[in-house]
Amino acid sequence: MAKQPHLDDFLVPFYGNGKKSETFALTDYDTAAKPFSTGTKQADRERLAEFAVRLDEMQERLHAQRCERVLLVLQGMDTSGKDGTIRAVFHEVDPLGLRIAPFKAPTPDEAAHDFLWRVHAHAPAAGELTVFNRSHYEDVLVPRVLGQLSHGDLVRRYHHIRQFEELLADSGTAILKCFLHISKDEQRRRLQSRIDDPTKHWKFDVSDLEARKQWDEYQAAYRDALTATSTERAPWYVVPADSKTHRNLMVAALLLRVFEGLNLAYPPAKESLKGITIA
């Protein structure tokens, strides 16, 4: 890129912005790019460490204020680094102030409800920072690729997602959605390294290979889901994620920007406490 990169260059056009949505393509984004790299891996790591400390400060203010809520949604193909992102970006955040909600294949009880039922239960409360590790977006990806969802049902689900996220936003939830974008080649390397290291076999599920066979179908499903659900109050960003360091740096930068937009301040001192001496 010739011009200075900006986080919003990686914003998925908002739903309803017809022309821009139509021309949006994941292939336009280089998975190996490192637009927010500061130069060297060492410098990037130092930067991330700074960001991590600032995120902790922001989370403490969020918690102190008990008013706003922050939700980070992480999606991406297998091995795209959702787990690693959580670990790196939130390394300094107080575990008391962070809630991770992982969504796996629905249980029979979950599947017996509407697809947003189990997700809603994990929406952040006032003062909470919640990360969805996978999310309701799985429900417009997997069943679509497996051919279990009609086009009409798929479009209705997009609609329900937009409405649901608007409800959360109306209740004071700042929402950030990140698609961790890796190449098929990079996934091959990562899966292979799990196979080559017997201590990592427990991370490996043979069904990952099935999903890999449908790489193109999943990319198309992601493209459609992203363009149908990127909105001003719940925007999607494409995060080039072949480089783990860059991926972490960019997610942290996006999240920090969300926090900064909240103008979080500590609650005012309580007059009633002034001058009290504890006996």
Rule CB under 8 A: is residue 108 a binding residue for a second copy? no
Contact pattern for a second copy over residues 52 through 81, marking x by CB under 8 A: ------------xxx---------------
Residue 78 or 166 having the CB closest to a second copy:
78
Residue 65 or 183 having the CB closest to a second copy:
65
CA distances from 232 to 68, 172, 235, 236 (A): 17, 14, 6, 9
Residue 2 or 96 having the CB closest to a second copy:
96
Read off the DSSP letter of residue 102: E
Here the tokens at position 173 are: 């939830």
Buried b (16+ CB within 10 A) or exposed e, 65-78: eeebbbbbbbbbbb
Q: Which stretch binds a second copy (CB under 8 A): 31-39, 108-116, 204-212, 217-225?
A: 204-212
Burial tier of 182 (Cβ tally within 10 Å: 0-12, 13-18, 19+): buried
188: Cα separation from own chain's centroid: 22
Q: Which stretch binds a second copy (CB under 8 A): 103-111, 139-147, 167-175, 200-208?
A: 200-208
Rule CB under 8 A: is residue 100 a binding residue for a second copy? yes
What residues pair up with 133 in beta bridges, in sequence order?
A: 74, 102
CA distances from 94 to 14, 57, 68, 143, 197 (A): 33, 9, 17, 36, 32
Q: In the range 119-138, which residues lie near a second copy by CB under 8 A?
A: 133
CA distances from 271 to 176, 194, 265, 267, 275 (A): 36, 58, 17, 12, 9
Here the tokens at position 5 are: 């990169």
Among 83, 110, 166, 217, binds a second copy (CB under 8 A): 83
Among 43, 46, 102, 156, binds a second copy (CB under 8 A): 102
Among 4, 206, 232, 263, binds a second copy (CB under 8 A): 206
The DSSP H or E segment spanning 151 is helix 151-170
Q: In the range 168-197, which residues lie near a second copy by CB under 8 A?
A: 188, 191-192, 195
Least distance from a second copy to the Cβ atom of residue 272, Å: 7
Residues that bind a second copy (CB under 8 A): 64-66, 83, 86-87, 90, 93-96, 98, 100, 102, 133, 188, 191-192, 195, 198-199, 201-204, 206, 209, 212, 266-270, 272-274, 276-279
